Structure 1
Amino acid sequence: MSVLIPPAITTRTGRRTIQEVLESARGRLARLTPAQARILWTAGAVVVDIRPAAQRAAEGELPGALLVERNVLEWRFDPASDAALPIASYDLQVIVLCQEGYTSSLAAAALQDLGVHRATDVVGGFAAWRELL
């Protein structure tokens, strides 16, 4: 028995590497240093920690950050979603935080795709922010 694989799966046309996707996402973001993020947080921005619970338990938490795991982020911050948080707004300044600043770049770009135009992330993620604590 032979298995047929559709051509779209076997050709590179129209596909990008994760590095290309990451660079595209970051090209749209005004990424912040941990110090800049802390200043904006103090001024009213929302810091959202998207790391899984096990990672937060192992690496530490950022007291006061809003905990929203990555797999539900868009539903919680899309003002048009039935599952949106009460604070969800297209103008909300959202600072997304992951462990090292990779997943957060993709997540912040996804929020921008939804119209949350002030979404961004932290260069170096929680690992870099932790050095300020």
Structure 2
Amino acid sequence: MSGVDRLLASARAGLQRLTAQEAHDAAKAGALLVDTRTAAQRSHQGELPGALVIDRTVLEWRLDPTSPNRVPEAVPGALVIVLCRQGYSSSLAAASLRALGVDATDAIGGVEAWLSAGLPLHGGPADVRE
């Protein structure tokens, strides 16, 4: 097993990962859906309804409720569901957020699983947070 595979397995060991449908349902019930895909990936695959787009490079600063640089939606106790293209980097991101005390998880298979499940996309501009 490679080093990155061990890191990924360790990250996922602490997560209650969701299916795409579960992530969609949780977002409809008030969970914070966070899309970390690149602009090119979002352009190709489409935008997720209700998702905040936060670049992976600033994710922890935007979602830590104690950070002065947080987004207003980052409140203590909020469930954060991170999605990436295939569900790999989102696992690492969710584990990092959990280390900060954020209730975070990710979606198995990422946006590709979302699309395969026939879940809705958003036609308007993305809610990009920098």
State how 1:47-66 maps to structure 2 within 5 Å.
Answer: 47-66=33-52
The percent of aligned pairs where both chains have the same amino acid is 53
Q: When the two structures are aligned, how many residues end up with a matched partner?
A: 117
TM-score, with structure 2 as normaliser: 0.85
Runs of 4+ with deviation above 3 angstroms? none
Out of 57, 62, 65, the residue aligned to residue 79 of structure 1 is 65
**Is the 2:32–2:73 contact (alpha carbons within 8 Å) kept by the matching residues of 1?**
no
Out of 40, 49, 57, the residue aligned to residue 26 of structure 2 is 40
> Residues 17-52 of structure 1, C-alpha deviation per residue, up to 9 Å, x if partnerless?
010000000000000001111111111001100111
State how 1:1-133 maps to structure 2 within 5 Å.
Answer: 17-116=3-102, 118-131=103-116, 132-133=118-119
Letter in 2 for 1:49: D
Which of structures 1 and 2 has the larger relative contact order (alpha carbons within 8 angstroms, sep 6+)? Answer: 2
| CA distance, structure 1, for counterparts of residue 91 and residue 76 of structure 2 | 18
> Residues 90-111 of structure 1, C-alpha deviation per residue, up to 9 Å, x if partnerless?
3110000000000000000000
SS of 2:9 mapped into structure 1: helix
> Residues 67-115 of structure 1, C-alpha deviation per residue, up to 9 Å, x if partnerless?
1111110000011212111121231100000000000000000000110
| Structure exhibiting the larger radius of gyration computed from Cα positions | 1
Computed over aligned residues only, the root mean square deviation of the Cα atoms, in angstroms, reads 1.2
TM-score, with structure 1 as normaliser: 0.84
SS of 1:48 mapped into structure 2: strand
| CA distance, structure 2, for counterparts of residue 63 and residue 42 of structure 1 | 10
| CA distance, structure 2, for counterparts of residue 44 and residue 25 of structure 1 | 24
SS of 1:67 mapped into structure 2: strand
